[in-house]
Amino acid sequence: MMPRCFQVQPQDNVATLLDDASSTVRVLGAQPQEVQLLDKIAPGHKVALRNIAAGEAVIKFGARIGHASQAIQRGAWVHLHNLASDLDERSGTLDLHSGAPTDTASAYA
């Protein structure tokens, strides 16, 4: 079975992975299609359904969740390395894999 992701609204430019994937995924939902992945993407993470220009809104579930901090190609993993929050200025300082802040000292260091 081909790995799957889902797109809720037709205007969404990202979809959420349901399965671990590293090649082609089937998009379920608003605009069924297949997308060739450029990166390995874990379940729950986002894939770009089309090219997204730097500064352009990233839309998920029909709502703006931030903007592209750099150009994002169709099939790329959309996460902290290329997506910035419009509400949280610190979003660009979070660790890519854990989401932990990197701009403050740890109390356990």
Q: At residue 9, does pLDDT exceed 90?
A: yes
In a domain, 101, yes or no: no
Query: Higher pLDDT residue, 90 or 82?
Result: 82
From 11, 94, 73, 3, select the one nearest 44 (Cα to Cα). 3
Rounded average pLDDT over 85-95:
64
* 77-78 vs 83-84, strand pairing mode: unpaired
- Alpha-carbon span 55 to 18, nearest angstrom: 27
The answer to whether the predicted template modeling score (pTM) of the entire model surpasses 0.95 is no
Q: At residue 53, does pLDDT exceed 60?
A: yes
- Return the pLDDT at 40: 95
- Return the pLDDT at 69: 95
> Predicted confidence band at 72 (pLDDT cuts at 50, 70, 90)?
very high
| Total number of domains constituting the chain | 1
- Alpha-carbon span 70 to 23, nearest angstrom: 23
CATH of the domain at 31: 2.30.130.110
The whole domain housing 74 covers: 4-93
Q: Please state, rounded to an integer, the average pLDDT across all residues of the chain.
A: 88
